[in-house]
Structure 1
Amino acid sequence: MSDYWKHKQKIAKSDVWIVAFCFVLATPFFYETFVFCYHKIGVIKTIFFVFFHYFNPLLLVYFLVYFLLPVSIKNKNVFYFTLILLVTLLVQAALSRTVYGFLGVKVAKINFDTITFEIQDTIMLAAPLSMILFVKQLVEIKGQFLRIEKEKKEAELKLLKQQIDPHFLFNNLNVLGVLIQQDKNSATEYLNRFANLYRYLIKYKDEDVVLLEEEWSFAQNYIFLIQQRFGNTYDFSSFQNDSIGPLLSRFVPPGAVQALIENIVKHNQGDHERPLQIEVEFGDNYCAIKNEIRAKLTSVESTQTGLKSLEMRYRLLSDQKLMIKQTEGSFEVKIPLLKSV
């Protein structure tokens, strides 16, 4: 019985108001019962009779809605629910007969028909209010669940987006320091691109999705930084702005294209004599980034800021998934272009 008390529901203020409203609606029935009993058992006993006659089903409502139903649903035990409810109704019927006899109200002899009638009478009084309160609880629980899921999703997205910001800051600052000493004009261009890149991150840090046009511009700034850092070891010549067309009005998570490019550079070895080929294709409802596989000589520790994080972000935003294809010599990732979220 420990679970029985552990999973009981609390009474909300709105529940009290619902019960009070139902009692107000039932006032004519109170009056009718009072008039019917007044001339037979007197004023005092009639007051007690009316109070008990309507308060007894209220106890059943309380027990059913706030104890029995939550526990039975939690344990998924229909037999348990039926047995306890039947025992409770029998106890209430016996209690009613005892109280009515004490008040001087004539009651029929105990038999199957009288017990059945008293149980039916109690159910008829308790069922409407029980249904109202239980449905209200279900609606509130569903609302709480949806709110918790939304907050969880927002927290996970925020964490994943925060992982993007500082990932390549240190190396880029090192490159900037070298350029300042060697070529101030190149350093100025590098700094402008670097500033545009972080301006994008700051601008869209609280957004779940951005226009592909904005993301593509961000990715081009990132590519420029890569080229300044590694020279021509990575060949991005296949990137064509005019191949995107109307797809620029679609949406992707902030940093999605950049994350794929970063993943390629991180895990594949570039070479000045034989640059690593990277291709981008904008097709129907997707953006595909494909690269030849050329693993680095030294293993690179995997983190959650790459492909896995991007997969997680798409799962949180939509029912569309990343499409990953790997062959012996190439690796390709297709990210869905979202119409809206």
Structure 2
Amino acid sequence: MQNQTFKNGQKKALIRLALITSPIIGVYTITPMILFVTSVKDVQLENFYINEFNVIKALVGISFFVFIEWMLNIWLFSYADNQLGREINKKYKYIFSYAFMFVAVLFSQIRRMEMNPIDFKMFSYYPFVAATANNTFILILYRLITGRHEKAQLELDKTKLELAQYVTQQEQLKNKIHPHFIFNALNTLKLLIKREQGAAEDYLVRLSSYLRFSITETAKDISLIKDELEFCQNYIELQKVRFANSITFHNLLPQEVINNEYLPVVTLQSLAENAIKHNAFTKRNPLVLELRLKEDGNIAFSNNVIPKRTNEETTGTGLDNLRRRFELLGNDSLSIVHHQEDKQFEVTFNTIKK
């Protein structure tokens, strides 16, 4: 359907160009003929009068012939293959185009000689030369127009392909959100059921809410910060049970931002997961997560850095995936800052105002 629409647009553009250029080509084709006739003093030309009516009639005739040439070439190079049911070699199309033009000019010359038997000597060849130049000019214009449309079609196809790749990439990135979380959560729930059934029930409610968000909301590209916060807080509360309340979370965002602005889905949970994964926190030295609005309007998600005893090599895949998701949504604002002096790790980003 889209390709047909594109073809129709190209056809209309070519017909418009044919209508515009046909009289223009007619004017510069007939001008040398008029100049020749008016400049030659010959007995044969005494009764050959040039008046406005004859000029207009000749101009209309030549313009019509040029338009026919246009239509023939458009049909030959754009529709002949489909309508004839087979692909025709381009050289045969060019041969047919010029052959038709020569036959038409020859026929018009014979008719002229019957009506006005005047010998124009060498200038008799001018109509063939002019028609050849005209047909060549038409073919060049045709290639320019169709080439431009083909380039636009290729750009459109390329954009569609990139968009499809971006959508696939977006889904792949979202599928990497929590690979081991469910396994750890179920193990924690199993231990709670044995020790504290009340706590196990609360844990199960939060886990259910967390999984419901994972199933329903992660199919989207963006999520309201209010929903993002609820999802992140559920995740942190679940992790608190696992890590014996050694995690603290401070939300300092104003309600106006929370209720009206958006983020790529599971942004906050991904940042919390990254902080928990790469720090060695304990009850005495807890991990402190903070979400706040900066003076420049960006949002900052920060945590204190508590290095692990074993030097664990970090690939940065989680944050890199998050950055790429921001970029796919047209927001390249995510930046990472590691403050060595106060041992703070901070990720800043812009929100999406839907």
Counterpart check, 1:211 vs 2:204 = no
The 1:115/1:315 distance shift into structure 2, 3 A limit, reads farther
How far, CA to CA, are the matches of 2:321 and 2:176 in structure 1? 9
The 1:221/1:108 distance shift into structure 2, 3 A limit, reads farther
How far, CA to CA, are the matches of 2:65 and 2:124 in structure 1? 26
Question: Counterparts in 2 of 1:1-341, with a 5 A limit?
Answer: 14=7, 18=11, 58=72, 105=109, 109=122, 117-126=130-139, 129-130=142-143, 132-236=145-249, 239-240=250-251, 243-248=253-258, 249-283=260-294, 285-300=297-312, 302=314, 306-328=318-340, 329-340=343-354
Question: Where do 4+ consecutive residues of structure 1 move more than 6 Å?
Answer: 10-13, 50-53, 60-64, 90-98, 100-104, 110-116
Counterpart code for 1:313:
R
How far, CA to CA, are the matches of 2:224 and 2:255 in structure 1? 13
Secondary structure of the residue that 1:176 maps to in structure 2? helix
Deviation per CA, 1:126-157, whole angstroms, max 9, x where unpaired? 46655554444344333322322221211111
The 1:305/1:101 distance shift into structure 2, 3 A limit, reads closer
Larger C-alpha radius of gyration, 1 or 2? 2
How far, CA to CA, are the matches of 1:282 and 1:17 in structure 2? 52
Q: Is the 8 A contact 2:69 2:101 kept in 1?
A: no
My pick for the range that moved more, 302-311 or 219-228, is: 302-311
How far, CA to CA, are the matches of 2:230 and 2:72 in structure 1? 66
Q: Is the 8 A contact 1:210 1:252 kept in 2?
A: yes
The 1:280/1:142 distance shift into structure 2, 3 A limit, reads same
TM-score, normalised to structure 2's length?
A: 0.64
After superposition, the CA RMSD in angstroms is 4.4
2:50 aligns with none
How far, CA to CA, are the matches of 1:55 and 1:132 in structure 2? 16
1:70 aligns with none
What number of residue pairs does the alignment pair up?
Answer: 283
Q: Is the 8 A contact 1:325 1:333 kept in 2?
A: yes
The 1:285/1:153 distance shift into structure 2, 3 A limit, reads farther
My pick for the range that moved more, 147-156 or 185-194, is: 147-156
Counterpart code for 2:256:
P
Q: Percent identity?
A: 25
TM-score, normalised to structure 1's length?
A: 0.67
Counterpart code for 1:314:
F
Q: CA deviation at 1:234?
A: 2.9
Secondary structure of the residue that 1:325 maps to in structure 2? strand
Q: CA deviation at 1:108?
A: 7.7
How far, CA to CA, are the matches of 2:123 and 2:314 in structure 1? 77
Q: Is the 8 A contact 1:250 1:337 kept in 2?
A: yes
Q: Is the 8 A contact 2:206 2:234 kept in 1?
A: yes
Q: CA deviation at 1:183?
A: 0.4
Secondary structure of the residue that 1:315 maps to in structure 2? helix
Deviation per CA, 1:208-242, whole angstroms, max 9, x where unpaired? 10000000111110110111111133333xx136x
How far, CA to CA, are the matches of 1:100 and 1:54 in structure 2? 10
Q: Is the 8 A contact 2:281 2:287 kept in 1?
A: yes
Structure 2: segments with no counterpart, 5+ residues: 23-63, 79-93, 111-119
The 1:123/1:210 distance shift into structure 2, 3 A limit, reads same
Secondary structure of the residue that 1:306 maps to in structure 2? helix
How far, CA to CA, are the matches of 2:279 and 2:6 in structure 1? 62
How far, CA to CA, are the matches of 1:324 and 1:96 in structure 2? 70
Q: CA deviation at 1:316?
A: 0.3
How far, CA to CA, are the matches of 1:11 and 1:227 in structure 2? 59
The 1:17/1:324 distance shift into structure 2, 3 A limit, reads closer
Q: Is the 8 A contact 1:285 1:338 kept in 2?
A: no
Secondary structure of the residue that 1:164 maps to in structure 2? coil
Q: CA deviation at 1:102?
A: 8.2
Structure 1: segments with no counterpart, 5+ residues: 1-9, 30-49, 65-89
How far, CA to CA, are the matches of 2:10 and 2:98 in structure 1? 30
Secondary structure of the residue that 1:264 maps to in structure 2? helix
